[in-house]
Amino acid sequence: RVLSYSRLILVSPLSSWWSHVEMGPPDPILGVTEAFKRDTNSKKMNLGVGAYRDDNGKPYVLNCVRKAEAQIAAKKMDKEYLPIVGLADFTRASAELALGENSEAFKSGRYVTVQGISGTGSLRIGANFLQRFFKSSRDVYLPKPSWGNHTPIFRDAGLQLQAYRYYDPKTCSLDFSGAMDDISKIPEKSIILLHACAHNPTGVDPRQEQWKEMAAVVKKRNLLVYFDMAYQGFASGDINRDAWAVRHFIEQGINIVLAQSYAKNMGLYGERVGAFTVICSDAEEAKRVESQLKILIRPMYSNPPINGARIASLILNSPDLRKEWLVEVKSMADRIISMRTQLVSNLKKEGSSHNWQHITDQIGMFCFTGLKPEQVERLTKEFSIYMTKDGRISVAGVTSGNVGYLAHAIHQVTK
Amino acid sequence: LAAYRTDEGQPWVLPVVRKVEQMIAADHGLNHEYLPILGLPEFRAHASRIALGDGSPAIGENRIGSVQSLGGTGALRIGAEFLRRWYNGNNNTATPVYISSPSWENHNSVFVDAGFKDIRTYRYWDAAKRGLDLHGLLEDMEKAPEFSIFILHACAHNPTGTDPTPEEWKQIAAVMKRRFLFPFFDSAYQGFASGNLDKDAWAVRYFVSEGFELFCAQSFSKNFGLYNERVGNLTVVAKDADSVKRVLSQMEKIVRTTWSNPPSQGARIVATTLTSPQLFAEWKENVKTMADRVLLMRSELRSRLEALGTPGTWNHITDQIGMFSFTGLNPKQVEYMIKEKHIYLMASGRINMCGLTTKNLDYVAKSIHEAVTKIQ
């Protein structure tokens, strides 16, 4: 019997099963924070990962979250498993938050919402569900650009990625005609992913009239719409305004699927609170869809973690806490809007001749500065300012204390 | 889903967990920031130490890695996804995966959904002798294609409660080494089985000492009673530190598209407990409390059946270990138990020992006696 070369390598007692395993590339988004942590420059700024910071640059735990946590701790509840689909009070409240309490789809019960592991986990459940049950197409159309993790999520779920024009680098705003042109040519019954608000990474959102036109085309092309809503409330400060597109599409008779995250709008990042929703024809269909979602979730992690969902549920379902939450999420959104304004005025003060209007036109946590990779590299190397290579900054990482430094640095690398 | 119950039939939050939870709730210095992709560092390191032992040569040689996961299920899934991509070639979905017959029913789905196409069973439970079919197990390992993956229950086999003895584990390890079979341990009951953490980890540690590269999916659901916080850990043991580094970097990629980063609450509770000598001692006491109650119920049930003169042998009740027991009742006898006596068993005859209490022991023993004598 002849032993093949590879078998000799594999079965040598000294060799590892893993000798051919390549070193994975550092994760572009979370890797930025790790590099930032290693930097010893006192002026360093982390404009990488999208986590909100207060005006002192510190993580912010919402007061309503603290109150909810105290209430939960006092109740001394047991630690029994949640159902596979998660905490019912949470999933119901999450659906209502997205759809609106007056939504026909919500009131009729023709939806299923399952708890997911924040935005990523919810997106992945949906992607796996579509791979298994959406037989019309394997293609998911993402806006160009999209959140970096969208592509590997859908790919690992077994789907293929395509793109439609979205961001216009010349104007740093929406390429609406390009988007409409591309979307109108997407093969029927493909899957299209839309960012509900505060597009990541560009911060560029369609206006309501533009959403209306997109909905009409999407409906005409009979596309399966997948909304990713990670910033409801966090974008404009108004939860209803930020959910407008989602609600409009549903009202137009488009049965969307939706991933929600509470990482940013409730500051519950590490508790992994999210939800995945399927709008169905009727409540009976919703039950069947739910049963299949359970079959997908069970071999992934059995059932979801309770802590964050309990906090979110208490906040959404208690009138006082909910009121307080709405005020706090608005204040986070307002601080970000104010930083955008200050950044632009500081750039003008530095003497920059570029047009920086896109910084204040864009919305949400992120801003596509328009900086090129070489300029980004200089910002990191010369000024210890960390951001992703695409020139995206997390405005949440800007404070009144460092906005001047940031403007100065940007001016230096762009003048 | 199975969870521990007190003698009053109630869920039990471990006193040490309650204490640590209150500590965490009162600590306003803590926030809810993202954990790293692979999880809370103190949790990962200490969780793996629990499995491998402080003095593990693999730890000393810096050739272990850990991935905080969503419960034992999440750890199994990350391990399975990694193996499908990187084990025995690249994306070799044809590598056979062997699961014990019977096993936890979710094992199959985990590996199917991870992409493996050839899931097989290996003989395990011998219904006739109500014990381990060691001969069948070893024969299936001899016949398995080289490089096959074997899912091994580290202790307290679910659902049979039947574990190999140390001598039997040695035989298993010898065959696996000779045939280049990959050991993937599922360790959901460490401490909960015998009441002793080290004893329940003996098999995993033996394999490590024999030089195997292996995975061990750990759950802290039962031994910490943290069911709904989803606390698990995938321990990776490799030949060298560089292999671990590369393996973890690829596991990060898998985690990133599954849940991005794991939930913080449960990991904080476990890490706080394991890193404090006092809390660690308290935890071991709490674990022993649970294990001892189950052991007591086993011995009490067995002695009642023997006193009643129930036909058959009943030593398997105390030979078996952990939350579950394969009573040996056949489906008709099980139906009798459910319909006539309102005692709920699985069709397999599996009983959850946590459901037994001092108040219902007599009733359960009498019912089994009736079922066995009335129904053949």
Walk me through the domains of chain A, giving residue ranges and CATH numbers.
28-60+333-413 (3.90.1150.10), 81-317 (3.40.640.10)
pLDDT of residue A33: 80
Judge: B13–A79 Cβ closer than 8 Å, yes or no.
yes
Write the pLDDT tens digit of every residue in B265-318: 999 999 999 999 999 999 999 999 999 999 999 999 999 999 999 999 999 999
Write the pLDDT tens digit of every residue in A200-257: 999 999 999 999 999 999 999 999 999 999 999 999 999 999 999 999 999 999 999 9
Write the pLDDT tens digit of every residue in B318-351: 999 999 999 999 999 999 999 999 998 998 999 9
Task: Enter the tokens of residue A350.
Answer: 């530095």
Walk me through the domains of chain B, giving residue ranges and CATH numbers.
15-275 (3.40.640.10), 293-374 (3.90.1150.10)
With a threshold of 0.90, tell me whether the complex ipTM lies above it: yes
pLDDT of residue A3: 42
CA gap A153, B245 in Å, rounded: 23
Write the pLDDT tens digit of every residue in A98-113: 999 999 999 999 999 9
CB A277 within 8 A of CB A95: yes
- Residue A7 binned pLDDT confidence (cut-offs 50, 70, 90): low
pLDDT of residue B265: 98
Closest Cα in chain A to B20: A73
Does B173 score more than 50 pLDDT? yes
Strands B64-70 and B131-132: unpaired
Between A14 and A402, the more confident residue is A402
Catalytic residues of B: 104, 186, 222
Does the beta carbon of B246 lie under 8 angstroms from any beta carbon of chain A?
Answer: yes
Write the pLDDT tens digit of every residue in B24-45: 999 999 999 999 999 999 999 9
Does the beta carbon of B315 lie under 8 angstroms from any beta carbon of chain A?
Answer: no
A231-241: b or e for each residue (b if 16 or more CB lie within 10 Å)?
bbbbbbbebee
Closest C-alpha to B124, from B187, B168, B85: B168
To the nearest whole Å, the CA of B177 is away from the closest chain A CA by 10
Closest C-alpha to B230, from B254, B259, B193, B194: B259
Cα angle A55, A57, A61; round to 5: 85
What does each C-alpha distance from B120 to B92, B123, B144, B232 come to in angstroms?
16, 10, 10, 26
Judge: A156–B226 Cβ closer than 8 Å, yes or no.
no
Does A313 score more than 90 pLDDT? yes
Quickly tell me which residue has 């579950």 as its tokens. B324
To the nearest whole Å, the CA of A11 is away from the closest chain B CA by 7
Q: Which among B74, B240, B253 is the nearest to A301, CB-wise? A: B74
pLDDT of residue B283: 98
| Cα of A169 vs its chain's centroid, Å | 21
Does the beta carbon of A364 lie under 8 angstroms from any beta carbon of chain B?
Answer: no
Write the pLDDT tens digit of every residue in B196-215: 999 999 999 999 999 999 99
pLDDT of residue B1: 64
CA gap B239, B87 in Å, rounded: 15
The whole-model pTM stands at 0.96
Tell me the percentage of chain B whose pLDDT exceeds 90. 97
Q: Which residues contact B375 (CB under 8 A, 6 or more apart)?
A: B330, B332, B333, B336
Helix%, strand%, coil% for chain B, nearest 5:
50, 15, 35
Write the pLDDT tens digit of every residue in A186-199: 999 999 999 999 99
Indicate the Cα dihedral angle A28, A29, A30, A31, nearest 10°. Answer: 30
Judge: A76–B254 Cβ closer than 8 Å, yes or no.
no
Look up residue B75 and give its amino acid. Answer: A
A 278-307 → B contacts, CB under 8 A: 295-296, 298-307
- Residue A1 binned pLDDT confidence (cut-offs 50, 70, 90): very low
To the nearest whole Å, the CA of A231 is away from the closest chain B CA by 16
Does A5 score more than 50 pLDDT? no
CB A136 within 8 A of CB A17: no
- Residue A15 binned pLDDT confidence (cut-offs 50, 70, 90): confident
Q: How many CB pairs under 8 A join A and B?
A: 201
Helix%, strand%, coil% for chain A, nearest 5:
50, 15, 40
B231-240: b or e for each residue (b if 16 or more CB lie within 10 Å)?
bbbbbbbbbb
B 256-285 → A contacts, CB under 8 A: 256-266
pLDDT of residue B35: 95
Closest Cα in chain A to B226: A79
Strands A257-261 and A224-229: parallel
- Burial of residue B129 (CB within 10 Å: 0-12, 13-18, 19+) is exposed
Q: What's the maximum distance between 2 C-alpha atoms anywhere in chain B?
A: 64
Write the pLDDT tens digit of every residue in B104-131: 999 999 999 999 999 999 999 999 888 9
